[in-house]
Amino acid sequence: MQGKLTVDPANQIAKIDDRVYSALIEHLGRSVYDGLYQPNHPQSDKDGFRQDVIDAVKSLNIDLIRYPGGNFVSGFNWEDSIGPKSTRPTRLDLAWRSIETNQFGLHEFMKWTQKTGTRPDMAVNLGSRGIDAARNLVEYCNFPGGTYWSDLRKQNGAEEPFNIKTWCLGNEMDGDWQIGHKTADEYGRLAHETAKVMRLVDPSIDLVVSGSSTREMATFGSWEETVLDHTYDDVDYLSLHRYYDNEENDLANFLAKSIDFDEFISGIVAVCDAVKARKHSHKTLNLALDEWNVWYHSHKQDGETAPWQQAPHLLEDHYNFEDALMVGTMLITLLKHADRVKIACLAQLVNVIAPIMTDEHGIWLQSIFFPFLQVSKYGRGIALTPQQTATTYDSKDFKDVPCLDSLAVYNSENHEIVIFAENKGNTTMDFQTDLHDLNAQTVIEATQFCGYDIKQTNENQQMALHPNSNVHLSDNTLTASLQPLSWNMFRLHVTH
């Protein structure tokens, strides 16, 4: 089986935004409680934050943390999460039918982001609440002082403002499962007015408006068009969400869904640009793909979980090797759209459909941790347009699916070309990369993630990235053997 990638530094997609390597943390299941925050655990610090989780998060080089949801935010009163813990109310979380104690709140979250080197991406409740709660929250977080809400922040221990830059205007408001679900016109009007008032408090903030929660929604496309008719001049990014599953147990078709992911992003870009043209606007609206992942393993268990528990086991997918391959090809697809996708949040981060899991003994890393780790660490720089040829296959839903998915990133500061390549086929691939006029000098690193049964999970921590010794660099051409069903990375020193 053959695959070839041609890399031309003159053929650029865009500089990759660091915010593409972001994540979601929601008050859901054991994401926060027994995840980030577990005061009585031996691994926890004086603030109750699990240090082993902090260390794992830091290793992933996460930029933004979208918080506090997710569906949770549409029924959340942010005021419940501030002030002395002894006075914070315990509430019903209707989104996930759980008990919320509010012991981990706004100030705890901000302290946790400081310890992990991440930045907040704060969502406001446009489901059960609206304009007033949103503008008060911005005042509490970002106004220096001398007003009721900003002085209350100081009273609660934060003398300096949090200066939160990125804000989400609600969550999945197109879905009838959402608390306070609205029509596109209803949500568009509310988002417009809320954005206006939030910017009156702090004109410097960036705003993300909610797009479709999935491509399968009957309103997909028309929702974006209507909402943007109301908000195009008010917002900076359009949110979209995408999850994939292998419920049919069809690996070839599962991995081919990266084609759907690519078309999904391109379709939303087309809608944004159509609204831009109709409005005669000079502004280009970019995308925040602020929920994406594989999600399906936990559905049966979630349906059997008793309601009204504190920190129940919910959405605890145990990812297998084929899920890691799907996450890898989704990451490559995201980078192929680096010109328009400026924010992307892996959903989620800890315990809930997450790369990091906790138990009473410590943490363990899921299969999907490994491709995300490599791309977030080394996928920094300029994404180059992939000129690729490869053997193809047909699956149940897709035709002419390339067995190779690949992309190169040029990091001029480090004088590196980093190549990410996935072999979706069942046989070894002879892979060749033509490096054009980059003047490649040496192979710094060549790794592969392969050789595991596709259904193997990583509870026993047996998975790891391994060196690839079947690599040769000569005359600006890299040749390598890509093992069947493998994720691969090559780092090259160049003098271009």
Kindly name the residue from 172, 316, 322, 422 that is annotated as catalytic. Answer: 172
CA-closest candidate to residue 13, choices 270, 283, 386: 386
Rounded Cα gap, residues 20 and 290, in angstroms: 9
The tokens for 490 are 């090559």
Rounded Cα gap, residues 354 and 155, in angstroms: 35
Q: Look up 100 and say whether it is catalytic.
A: no
> Cβ atoms within 10 A of the Cβ of 414, count?
15
The tokens for 356 are 């990091």
The tokens for 464 are 């790891």
CA-closest candidate to residue 488, choices 330, 374, 331, 320: 374
Q: What is the largest CA-CA distance in the chain?
A: 69
Residues shown for the chain: 496
CB 302 within 8 A of CB 315: yes
For 147-216, the DSSP string reads SHHHHHHHHTT--S-----EEEE-S-TT-TTSTT---HHHHHHHHHHHHHHHHHH-TT-EEEEE--S-TT
Rounded Cα gap, residues 315 and 296, in angstroms: 8
| Orientation angle between helical segments 258-278 and 321-336, nearest 10 degrees | 30
Q: Report DSSP state, residue 17.
A: P
The secondary structure of 31-94, three-state, reads CCECCCECCCCCCECCCCEEHHHHHHHHHCCCCEEEECCCHHHHHCCHHHHCCCHHHCCCEEEC
List C-alpha distances in Å: 302 to 92, 259, 306, 351, 352: 18, 29, 9, 14, 11
Kindly name the residue from 108, 291, 322, 416 that is annotated as catalytic. Answer: 291
Rounded Cα gap, residues 346 and 353, in angstroms: 9
Rounded Cα gap, residues 227 and 271, in angstroms: 11
| Orientation angle between helical segments 131-142 and 184-201, nearest 10 degrees | 30
Q: Look up 216 and say whether it is catalytic.
A: no
Residues 6+ apart with CB under 8 A from 362: 43, 52
CB 326 within 8 A of CB 244: yes
The catalytic residue positions are 172, 291
